Structure 1
Amino acid sequence: MTIRLRAPRRLAAVATASALALSLAACGGTTKDSASGDGDAKGGGNATANPNAPLKKGLKLAFLPKQVNNPYETIVDNAGIAAAKEFEGEAKEVGPSDASASSQVSYINTLIQQRHDAILIAANDANAVCGPLKQAMSKNIKIVAYDSDTNPECRDVFINQASSEEIGRSEVKLLSEQIGGKGEIAILSATANATNQNTWIKFMQDELKKPEHSGLKLVKVAYGDDDDQKSFQQTQGLLQAYPNLKGIISPTTVGIAAAARYISGSKYKGKVALTGLGTPDQMRKFVKDGTVKEFELWDPKNLGYLASYAAAALSSGQITGAQGEKFKAGKLGERSIGANGEVILGPPTVFDSKNIDQYHF
């Protein structure tokens, strides 16, 4: 099966992406290696990694997504739960039904009381969950952020689905190509506090400053709160408020599917371009009916799989989360930890009518 990755001309340089993206998300927080007191906060003290340590059996992992009824998050978490069985661990998914800033806090507190070995979290808000996560770390519970980061000092590693810079810049380039580089555009995001969304949007805004995108004008960043109906209504509102709108970027699987559903049944079909981040299964019909030409995503199953193995490596002492450490992630092979404890899954794949039937997730 051939996977078409973005051509080099459509990729931004990513050499500095990890550090820049996380500095945006961290709001000035200290990094894992820069604060002398950080080890105490994590409960690890002067712990050193033993890359030859075997993975412990019977590890208890808990996935805490942004919301449990999010189809994308479900795919990620189920893959991580399945991966835990490979190293004889136990994993489960718990979480809120809404994606509000504080909705995850009570679940973290409960998981601390249950003495899990690791908590894996897709943070709705980088700051709201920080205090409870630090409390967990002080009790030697390992913290793996995935999909959407928390502040770096509040977790051990962050499993990033792709370079944040690459995602943000490529979304602008993809839409620009579809509308001929000219016109008003809008962004339909998830929640206003989502770390990943805000980081991607910052890179989108920076990309729009380049001379080659001078014909594009960002008129609005709207928020659908990762709620299907609200995202649907926000799409309707954008198109009514901006009659000259030429394109929408929705870097959220809930948002892009809702936007596609509205556009496909409206007079805007074929006139307003839509791209963003979605799963092939939810977007297939919209690609085939011409509502959406191209969109992109990474494999969410691999994201959950990698996060699960990272949690196991942390809990077994193979890694501490320091830059330069390496661990084996099952079928995904050896992975390295970069700056600020970031592990990158890989580049996104572009889906269109030619390849979408090759993917089922």
Structure 2
Amino acid sequence: MRRHHRSRVLAATAAACALSLALAGCSGTTKSDSKDDAKDKTQNTKADPDAPLKKGLKIAFLPKQINNPYFTVVDKAGIKAAEEFDGKAKEVGPSDAKASSQVSYINTLVQQRQDAILLAANDPNAVCGPLKQAMKQDVKIVSFDSDAGKDCRHVFINQAGSDELARKMVKDMAEQIDHKGQFAILSATQNATNQNTWIKIMKDELKKPAYKDMKLVKTAYGDDVDQKSFQETQGLLKAYPKLKGVISPTTVGLAAAARYVSGSSYKGKVVLGGLGTPNQMRKYIKDGTVEKFLLWDAEKLGYLGSYAAAALSSGQITGKEGEKFKAGNLGEYTVRADGEVILGPPTVFDKKNIDDFDF
């Protein structure tokens, strides 16, 4: 009887421990967790720049939304790049850019034991927790385009220096409206990291004496949805009859704004600028709706992201400042402060070079 009683006690104890572990695993981050808890393993790992890239790496691209032409270009290039190091890459994601839309995909990719996830964050607050859990499962996290936050990923692939890009958008607008008058910003979602970073820098740039006669009257949000961005453009122009220009630091927004202006009485009167893709903006450049816009090589962004994920998964880098890795035919890159890797300077697209690009 004692032996059976002892067995029951041991069994009950084991069950209680199992339940405790299960609850702990589902509870997420607690107050006792350190800020960089998910990175503990990385911080104690030393990078080996001479380590070969592992074969058969499983990499997943998770864009803000899968029906966005810009992200389609980025992700396809990254998927193709993975073939160069015998990796297997894919694209998955939501059809909308809502804050929590990416969470279920992150959880599923972890269950599928992906080696790395490359994510453009819709809302850092929504994805940070799941990403930290993924990192604890030794999944390498690379954010691109819109950062998930330095504590929620290993590396951030920044398409261009944020400061340079934001100030350039303001300068280009100022030149086209003679540094005078009202203008507005047509952004994506209210919580997009990259959008908010650029807007903050734009406002700082506007404090300079050169822009004393310019006024930012409103920041509107089209949520990276074509029709909503179209309607927001229409609303801005009706609400502010003296509006001279609109800066849209999102490719969906700029294309939608151009579509509205090109078929209205505002064509030739209201200046449009910001970020766009050549294929989306070509007809608006050629018909005079838009004089110029900015972007980086979207294909190179995906290509670099894929190699960064491979370098992390192979132990060549851990995300610490000063580490270096080779990104195929793009050459060597250095990890900067807070795990940032910058693709390079932005490109200005206009009538002279628009036909030199196909993306």
Q: C-alpha separation between the residues in 2 aligned to 1:37 and 1:269? A: 51
CA pair 203-107 structure 1, distance change in 2 beyond 3 A: same
- Deviation of residue 40 (structure 1)? 4.9
1:259 counterpart (241, 257, 260):
257
- Deviation string for 1:33-63 (max 9, x for gaps)? xx98636545435111011100000000000
Q: C-alpha separation between the residues in 1 aligned to 2:218 and 2:203? A: 11
- 1:86-101 map, 5 Å: 86-101=84-99
TM-score between both structures, scaled by the size of structure 2: 0.90
3-state secondary structure, aligned to 2:151: helix
Q: C-alpha separation between the residues in 2 aligned to 1:268 and 1:43? A: 56
Where structure 1 has 5 or more consecutive residues not aligned to the other structure, the ranges are 1-34
- Deviation of residue 358 (structure 1)? 1.0
Quote the residue 2:28 is aligned against: none
- Deviation of residue 169 (structure 1)? 0.7
- Deviation of residue 357 (structure 1)? 1.0
3-state secondary structure, aligned to 2:76: helix
- Deviation of residue 127 (structure 1)? 1.3
Alignment: residue pair count: 327
3-state secondary structure, aligned to 2:125: coil
Q: C-alpha separation between the residues in 1 aligned to 2:121 and 2:91? A: 14
Kindly indicate whether residue 116 of structure 2 is the aligned counterpart of residue 137 of structure 1.
Answer: no
- Deviation string for 1:111-141 (max 9, x for gaps)? 0100100000000011110000000000100
Kindly indicate whether residue 317 of structure 2 is the aligned counterpart of residue 319 of structure 1.
Answer: yes
Q: C-alpha separation between the residues in 2 aligned to 1:39 and 1:98? A: 31
Kindly indicate whether residue 333 of structure 2 is the aligned counterpart of residue 335 of structure 1.
Answer: yes
1:51 touches 1:327 (CA, 8 Å); kept in 2? yes
Quote the residue 1:235 is aligned against: 233
- Deviation string for 1:200-245 (max 9, x for gaps)? 0000111111110011100000000000000000000000000000
Letter in 1 for 2:199: I
- Deviation string for 1:53-111 (max 9, x for gaps)? 00000000000000000000110000000000000000000000000111100000000
Kindly indicate whether residue 290 of structure 2 is the aligned counterpart of residue 281 of structure 1.
Answer: no
Question: C-alpha root-mean-square deviation of aligned residues, in Å?
Answer: 1.2
3-state secondary structure, aligned to 1:180: coil
Q: C-alpha separation between the residues in 1 aligned to 2:175 and 2:245? A: 11
1:225 counterpart (206, 209, 223):
223
Letter in 1 for 2:312: L
Quote the residue 1:48 is aligned against: 46
- Deviation string for 1:287-341 (max 9, x for gaps)? 0100000101000000000000000000000000000000000010000000000
2:302 counterpart (301, 304, 309):
304
Quote the residue 1:25 is aligned against: none
The 10-residue stretch of structure 1 (279-288 or 39-48) with the greater mean CA deviation from structure 2: 39-48
2:295 touches 2:346 (CA, 8 Å); kept in 1? yes
Q: C-alpha separation between the residues in 1 aligned to 2:144 and 2:98? A: 17
Q: C-alpha separation between the residues in 2 aligned to 1:140 and 1:43? A: 8
Quote the residue 1:200 is aligned against: 198
**Bigger relative contact order (CA 8 A; separation at least 6):** 1
Letter in 2 for 1:164: S
1:99 touches 1:226 (CA, 8 Å); kept in 2? yes
TM-score between both structures, scaled by the size of structure 1: 0.89
Where structure 2 has 5 or more consecutive residues not aligned to the other structure, the ranges are 1-32
2:273 touches 2:292 (CA, 8 Å); kept in 1? yes
- Which structure would you say has the larger Rg? 2
Identity percentage of aligned residues = 72
1:43 touches 1:139 (CA, 8 Å); kept in 2? no
Letter in 1 for 2:303: Y
1:225 touches 1:231 (CA, 8 Å); kept in 2? yes
Q: C-alpha separation between the residues in 1 aligned to 2:353 and 2:83? A: 31
3-state secondary structure, aligned to 1:44: helix
1:42 touches 1:140 (CA, 8 Å); kept in 2? no
Quote the residue 2:163 is aligned against: 165
